[in-house]
Every structure is written in C-alpha cells, then in structure tokens.
Amino acid sequence: MGGETRHVGRVGIPAADDDADPLVLDWRAEGARAFYTATAREPQGLARRRHVRIAGDRVTGVDDEPLDDAAARAQGEDGLVGEGALLAALSERRTGRMGTAVATLQAEQDAIVRAPADRTLVVQGGPGTGKTVVALHRVAYLLFTHPHLAERGVLLLGPSPRFLEYVAQVLSALGETAVVSATCDTLVPGVAPERGEARDVAEIKGRALWQDAVTRYADSLVPDARALTVRLDGEPLTLRAARVAQVLRAARAGGRSVLAARRRAVDLVLDALVDEAAARHAEMLDRVEEGFEDVLGTVDARLAAADDRAPTTGARGGDVDGELTDDDLDRMRDDLAHDPAVAAVLDAWWPVVDARTALADLLRDAALLARHAPGLSPAEARRVVAEPAALAPSDVPLLDALADALGTPDAPAEQGEFLADRAASRRDWVYGHVVVDEAQELSPMQWHMVLRRCPTRSVTAVGDVDQTEAPHRHTDWADAVGPVLGERWHRADLTICYRTPREVMALVGPVLRAAGSRNEPPRAARDAGVEPRDVVVPGSAPDLAGRLGTAVAAEVARLAARYEGGTVGVVAPARRLAALRAVAGDVPVLGATEAKGLEWDAVVVVDPDGIAAEPRGWNGLYVAMTRCTQELVRVVVDAAPAAG
C-alpha cells in the first residue's frame, strides 16, 4: 500500500501521536481486512504478507508470502491465504483448548466474520472447516464494530458444557467479556433437566406445533367473565359479569402476558368496584330525607352557642354533604386493595399459576393435549402423558415458552457487576446478538428459545447438517430452520477442511452417502503423511469386550508416544464407553455426540459398525472419523465366524 508497512494484531495499539497510524492495527478494523482477503491473483494493493509466530515473548517462526505474478501462477486452486503460517498452525499439537485464529483466518471465513449483523446467517461447514473459530471471531468482530450490541451482550449457545469449556479462552483472549455461554439445557436460570428421555418423545416435544399449543394453553388460564362480589364496610359490593367481561377485554389488549394481564385486570376491577361503590352511595343520597344538612347546621349552631370557641362536628366532604371527594375515592380504593378478603376473592377468580406446575398439568392430561395440541396423534399424546414428571431436556423449551406466555411474577433485580452476570440471571434478557454452534441439533422449540432472546433475529448459526444426531427429522437447513424462521435467513458455506487431512477425508464419502447427505464434503487443505489404519478384533472371541479394551489401550499408548505433547481421543458406541474408560487412562473416551466440535491429534474410532447402528448413526460415524488433525485408527469388530 504505497510503500507502507502495517502491523496487524489481536488487539490494536495506538501511536503516541493521535494523528499517527496505530502501532498495531486491530484485526477487526476495516484497514486490516486486506490481510485476510488478498491473494496473489487479487493482491488488493498488497505486495507482501508476513506472519510472525511467537510463543510467549519468543519468535518461533516467520513466513513471508509475496503477492506477485510468480506467486499467482503458483497458487493452488484453494487460494489459501498465508499458506505457510496456516499449515504450521494446523500441524501444531492440540492442547485440549481452542486457540484464536487471528493470524490465519481465510478469505471465506473472513467474509462470514464480517457479514452484516442485521439478519440470521446460517453457516454450513463440514468438519474442520473452522465453523466454531469463525463464530467466535465473528462475536469479537461484531462487538468491536457495533458497540450498541455490547450494551445487551452476546449469547453463545453450544452443544455441551464440555464444548463451552473447550472454547472458553478464545473470546477472553480476544478481549471480549460481554458474552454469556450456555447450552439449551441451561438457558433458563434455575432450571435444568432432571432425567433423560426416549428419542421419539424428544422428537415429539421438539416440534414447532408446541409454540401455538403453549400459547393456547396459557390463554385458557385466563378466567371467564363472571360476577364478582366483595364486602365493603360490611356490605356486599358486586360487579356484574358484563362489567367483568369489559375488564378482561381491556386487560388482554396489547398482547400482554397472562400475568401482566392479571395485574391490569386487578387494577381495573378495583377501579370498577370503587365506581360501583360511588354509584351506590349516590343512589343512597337520593333517599336521604330533605333537610339533612339543616339538621347538621342546627347541631353546629347549638354547639357554637354553648362554647365561644365554636366547636363543630368536624364533618367534611361526604360527611357534610354526602358527596364523595377524590380523597374519599382514593381511600376507598386503597382499603379495597389492602383488604385480605378482597385479595382472596380475586385470587380465587384468577389464580397466579406457576409455569412449571402448569406445564406438568398440560403434559399429564390427555384431554388438555387434545384441546391445545391437536396436531399430535392420539398415540403421540399418550407417549407424552406416560413420561415421568421430572424435567427432561425437551421440557426446558416448553417451560421457557410457557413462562414467556404466562409472564414473570416479579422480575428479579439484575445481579452482578458485569453485564454477562446480569444477563445470565434473567430468563427474559434480550441480547444484541446470538451465536448458535452445532445449530443443526436444535429442535424447532429450541429455535423459539433463541428468537425470544433476540427478537431482532441478529443470529449467527453455524453447523453441519450432515453431522446431525438429534432425533429431529431434518436432512437439510430448510427443514432444520424453516419451521421457525420461514425464509428469513441467509446461508453461507465453508468449503475447505483445515483440520482433517486428505487421507482421512478420502474415507468419508460412503459414510456421507449412507447418512443421506445432500452436500459435498469439504476439500481437505493438506496431507498428514499418515494413512488411516484398521485394527481388527474377531467378533467371535469369547471375551470381545476384553479384546477390544486391550487393542484400544495398545493403540492409545502408541499414539500418545507418537504425538507427545499433543492429545489422543477415543470415540466409541455408547454401549462400549464404560468398559473402554476403564482401560484408557486419562485419554477421553466419548460417544459421537459428546465428541462433536472437539478435536485431537490422533483418534481411535472403536467399532465403527456399532456407531453406525445407533440412531442417526451414520451421521455419528461421520463425526467420529473427522475429529483427528493427524492420524485415524479404527478398531473394527470382525463379525465373520471363526474358521474351523
């Protein structure tokens, strides 16, 4: 750029002179963008790009990348930016924590990071395409570029606590703290699943039809219009049903929640009771004999004659002439508002309903389900009713929807010094932006949870529909988000796999086809130089579990030695996890769902056929096979009978 040299870093450093260029340009600044998007074919005014790698305060490597005609002729079809630095980063040992990628973001990743924030962006990316890195850097970019988003904070929804722990240091390393991390199970403060559930029930409860069902059910908790009778000064005071109906119509106007409508209705009922009392008082005045005030005047005159200080009755307002003043009416309303007997009448008419109790009533009652969720078949309703009362994961979005429709009894005070603490303590907090990782796993009801927390739909959802393991019946993004978002979303694609080497990606085609994929797998950016290996354990062995454990332990030990300073992981069918954990030492042994979003230098996939046989198992096997950055070993159970 005209002979200039610019330094781009994770955090900007201004120059001592306010008019001078910064010493270090923040990577999110517009002036830094060419560093991520320039190629030899389109240099965008850059002559050279340099990556300086450091460890602590020590320089560990320098990669120079000329952006000239010779480089353009040599550039591969992937058009990788800063290829030397990128491949060096990809070859580093994994530590069990995700790091930043400020120095090595690629052009297609940068385009997503800097995409407009006023829409829902769905990012499809196969394994190793950097979906999570892109999502986290997008959070940092948006908070830097759009300060108003920081006033409400950003919600990061991940698939599991293990995943959130894995990525925790990225945003703090990028200098961002206005972020709340949660899973769908932990998104409602004070609520957590108390049991597991069958996949078919989770699918039923996750359907979009429940949003309308819950709303109808909440509306049904509004009482009917009927006459209300209270006692005032010992005398009965009645509001006719027609007047109560007017109160209910006014209370529900404007789309108030049930509880907000109740508060409004109580106010209107008290006003109406005062009006009724005033009308009754006026009616009584018409019956008072003529000359009542003359009698009072005569009494006052006699008192005055007996005492030159002229005492009087002290009567005023309605006590003197029978007319009720505004003060009289206010006192009457206050008496009614603080009368326990009146409160009891109103509570009996319109009780305050706890959301969890109300949800339990709905889910345990087949007649209520038939009335409010007619989209369920009788058999599906019976499956729901037969479930235990304890909360399951799919109940959390239903509880959130019902709590929203019913309203918050008393909004709690915002607790905590930091915005993230205050936001996390409020179920009804509205965020500036929401990022959803592994978004393909969300049910329609979980998507409704997301949109309640960001009505502007400023959402970034990243995932791989081919890695879906949830029971929800979708195989593409239109099926996944359409029931809630309709057509109000945009898609972007990540097409290059940076994590998983070519040797492993060459094996995934048949797995994807078996999973019913409609997408092309991402192109691997590099070779690892290590071919995947299969270790075969005879399925006819009398002690198959023991033989599997021995084989896995041997492979874990070999790989740990080979990738010293790095990480090894084991992925296996759910039914084999307990036995394998007993022999794997400190190496994590996870099911395919638990392994989603994680990566290790080397991975041992145990019993691939067993993984494929699980629900959505081909998708799970695709996940399992693509967790490694260097080497894949498959421990295969040979089902063929032993010879002889």
pLDDT in tens, 148-163: 888 899 999 998 887 8
Which segment of 229-233, 407-411, 463-467 scores lowest on mean pLDDT? Answer: 407-411
H or E element in which residue 371 lies = helix 366-372
Predicted pLDDT at 143: 86
Q: pLDDT grade, residue 448 (50/70/90)? A: very high
Residue 538 labelled as part of a binding site: no
User: Among 282, 301, 304, which Cα is nearest to 293's?
Assistant: 301
The mean pLDDT of 352-368, rounded to a whole number, is 95
Q: Is 128 annotated as a binding residue?
A: yes
In the predicted structure, residue 85 carries a pLDDT above the cut 50: no
Q: What is the mean pLDDT of residues 405-426?
A: 75
- With a CB cutoff of 8 Å and minimum separation 6, the contacts of 285 are 322, 323
Count Cβ atoms below 10 Å from residue 350 Cβ, excluding itself. 21
Per-residue pLDDT reduced to its tens digit, 556-577: 999 999 999 999 999 999 999 9
As a whole number, mean pLDDT of residues 202-229 equals 96
pLDDT band at 171 (very low <50, low <70, confident <90, very high): low
**pLDDT score of 187 more than 90:** yes
CA-angle at 90, arms to 85 and 93, nearest 5°: 120
Question: Any binding-site annotation on 129?
Answer: yes
Lowest mean pLDDT segment, chosen from 127-141, 261-275, 276-290, 497-511: 276-290
Region of poorest pLDDT, from 2-16, 30-44, 609-623 = 30-44
102 pLDDT higher than 60: no
pLDDT of residue 317: 44
With contact defined as beta carbons under 8 Å apart, do 102 and 10 qualify? yes
For all residues of the chain together, what is the average pLDDT?
A: 84
- Kind and range of the H or E element at 69? helix 69-74
In contact, 389 and 414? CB cutoff 8 Å? no
- Tell me what pLDDT residue 33 has: 65
N-to-C CA span, the chain: 76
Q: Which residue in 357, 370, 366, 388 sits closest to 201, CA to CA?
A: 388
79 annotated as ligand-binding: no
Q: What is the pLDDT of residue 417?
A: 62
The DSSP code sequence of 79-137 is --TTHHHHHHHHHSPP-SS----TTT--HHHHHHHTS-SSSEEEEEE-TTS-HHHHHHH
Please tell me the predicted confidence (pLDDT) of residue 95. Answer: 44
Say what the pLDDT of residue 11 is: 67
pLDDT at 383 over 70: yes
Instruction: Based on DSSP, count helices (H) and strands (E) in the chain, helices before strands.
Output: 29, 19
- Distances in Å between the alpha carbon of 538 and those of 546, 589, 611, 638? 12, 22, 17, 5
What was the pLDDT predicted at 626? 96
176 class by beta-carbon count within 10 Å (0-12 exposed, 13-18 middle, 19+ buried):
buried
Weakest mean pLDDT among 47-56, 371-380, 395-404, 473-482: 47-56
- Is 205 annotated for ligand binding? no
pLDDT tens by residue, 238-269: 999 999 999 999 999 988 899 999 999 999 99
125-150: per-residue pLDDT in tens? 999 898 888 888 888 888 888 888 88
Residue type, 275: D
* Residue 27 binned pLDDT confidence (cut-offs 50, 70, 90): low
Prediction pTM value? 0.76
Do residues 622 and 512 lie in contact, with contact meaning Cβ atoms separated by under 8 Å?
A: yes
For 293-333, write each residue's pLDDT tens digit: 555 555 555 555 555 544 444 444 444 455 778 888 888 88
Q: Compare 37 and 450 and report the one with higher pLDDT.
A: 450
Q: Are strands 589-590 and 523-524 parallel, antiparallel or unpaired?
A: unpaired
pLDDT band at residue 428, thresholds of 50, 70 and 90? Answer: very high
132 known ligand binder: yes
The SS3 assignment for 172 reads: helix
DSSP labels, 345-356? HHHHHS----HH
